[in-house]
Structure 1
Amino acid sequence: MLASSTDAKKQDVTVNRVQPNNIQTISKSRWFATLGLGSLLFAIALFASHSYPSIFLDLPMSGFTFAYVAPVFLILTLLAVFLSLKLVNYNFSDIGLSFRAFGKEALIGLLVASAWTLLQFFVIIPATGGAERMDIVANLEQLGTDYAGLFAFLLMAILGGGIAEEVFFRGFFLTSLRNSFGNSQVATALAVIITTIVFALLHGYQGWIGILDTAVFGGLSMSLLYLWRKNLTACIVAHGLYDVFAVLILFFYF
């Protein structure tokens, strides 16, 4: 009898990992409204965090300026997601932001980041233009040549790329899209495709090669990793560490 009770509890935990208990009571229209509100608030967060240093502090959008951008972008993005999720009575843990199995999830993220770094900088980038690639040129211009810029970009990689973008695009945007379409396999596929396209286009300043590159790693692979793990830790660590590795390689070797 005790064993059966224990098994039942384990089964309940597994079910709750996949989706919150209230998912069946939320209409598609409510999810669509949540998606719209969150997207609007994220757009405001993106614009406000990236524009205020130049507007109010008269700083160029390069180098150490990103040390101002990173924490503001993170705070405003988390606030946007938090407020939007209230429409469906969700919280951060419902979209996978938790410390459950943190060590295992972080290790998976580390392995993914390491694999992508090796593939990118030893195979893909050398074969597609190397230092002359538009995305490499754009990133180097923003990074600058001093250690203050390096620090700022590392901060942006962790707070902006790793945490803010994964919480919004994987935890919020992908989840909201999928549930707006009905939470079926077709809905999931459509959500992944749309998330990949939107995420890639937001990196349009890196040119077409940067858009394609971002679509494959930051869009498609992170979305599939999120669907596999049903947890944001692996995505946050993978995205954040890959950006950190990329910044260090760009600064010291390009």
Structure 2
Amino acid sequence: MKIKKVLLLVEILIFVLFVFLDAKGYLLISQTLYIVPFIWIVLRLKKEKFSSIGWNFKGIDLKKAIIIGIGLGIALELFATYVTTPLLSNYFNTEPDLSDLKSIHGNLTILLLFTILSWILGAIGEEICFRGFLMNRLANVFGNGNAAWIVALILSSILFGWGHTEQGITGWIQEGLSGLFLGIIFLKWNKNLTIPMIAHGVSNTLAFILIYLGEYPGV
């Protein structure tokens, strides 16, 4: 049992290292390009299936999941854009730094490109990494009970937010709150990634549309 927990801790530390390197600008494009292959290797070595971390569409009412995911994604983005981000910006006296996304404003081609990439790297990639893999590993380290999953939810959300440090303190905290919301969705729907992935993708898409229209704070 102790060996198993040590191995889990090693996996978590390697995961955190990738996030750290990405936050410091040492990784090209996105951390998910590096973490997802790492997860694949770990699961293969331990003879675990991706379904063990929530990548499982069997028994899922896809139509219902899409509707729920779209609704939650819209709610998440609107609440972040018009409630929590303004509150955080006022408190810290600074808006999130989203200068990397300025090229989307008024440019339909860039909007479409960023939207496609965000679904692949963000909605699918980050949900596999942070909700599917990391939350499972953290929960197992802490005993896999209800309290362990709450701890896993909080810690993974903090790391998810910290992974967006290029956005400044306001963006960091806001992304952490978004990660918390997505983690709650993950737990609510029996630790299945389908609805969190849809909600994440819809949230990002709506954010990009608002940036395109010039209606997003910090851009």
**Structure 2 stretches lacking a partner, 5+ long:** none
Looking at structure 2, the residues matched to 37 and 123 of structure 1 have their Cα atoms a distance apart, in angstroms, of 36
Equivalent position of 1:199 in the other structure: 160
Name the CA distance, whole Å, in 1 between partners of 2:84 and 2:7.
Answer: 40
Which among 235, 242, 245 is matched to residue 196 of structure 2? 235
Shift of 1:212: 1.6
* Structure 2: distance between partners of 1:28 and 1:241: 41
Q: 1:197 to 1:121 in 2, by over 3 A?
A: closer
Q: Is residue 78 of structure 1 aligned with residue 36 of structure 2?
A: yes
Q: Which residue of 1 aligns with 2:133?
A: 172
User: In the alignment, residue 52 of structure 2 is paired with which amino acid?
Assistant: D
Aligned to 1:138: 99
- Which range moves more in the overlay, 189-198 or 77-86? 77-86
CA deviation after TM superposition for structure 1 residue 238, in Å = 0.7
Q: Deviations over 1:98-148 (max 9, x none)?
A: 223133223221111011222233434455559x95325435446566444
Q: Is the 8 A contact 2:124 2:197 kept in 1?
A: yes
**Percent identity, aligned pairs only?**
25
* Cα separation, 1, equivalents of 2:198 and 2:13: 23
Take 1:227 and 1:117, find their aligned partners in 2: how far apart are those partners? 20
CA displacement 1:51-94 (0-9 Å, x = unmatched): 576xxxxxxxxxxxxxxx36xx5554321111122354321011
Q: Which amino acid aligns with 1:111?
A: G
SS in 2 for 1:134: coil
- Deviation larger for 111-120 or 36-45: 36-45
After alignment, is 176-185 or 149-158 more displaced?
A: 149-158
CA distance 1:189–1:236, change in 2 (3 Å):
same
Q: Runs ≥4 in structure 1, deviation > 6 angstroms?
A: none
Output the TM-score relative to the length of structure 2: 0.79
Structure 1: tracts of 5 or more residues without a match = 1-26, 54-68
Q: Distance in 2 between matches of 1:45 and 1:118?
A: 27
1:95 counterpart letter in structure 2:
I
Query: How many angstroms apart in 1 are the aligned matches of 2:44 and 2:16?
Result: 15
Q: Which has the higher contact order (CA 8 A, sep 6+)?
A: 2
Partner Cα separation in structure 2 for residue 137 and residue 75 of structure 1: 21
Equivalent in 69, 75, 89 of residue 115 of structure 1: 75
**Contact 1:29/1:180 (8 A) holds in 2:** no
1:41/1:196 CA distance change after superposition, 3 Å = closer
For 2:26 and 2:105, how far apart are their aligned partners in 1? 19
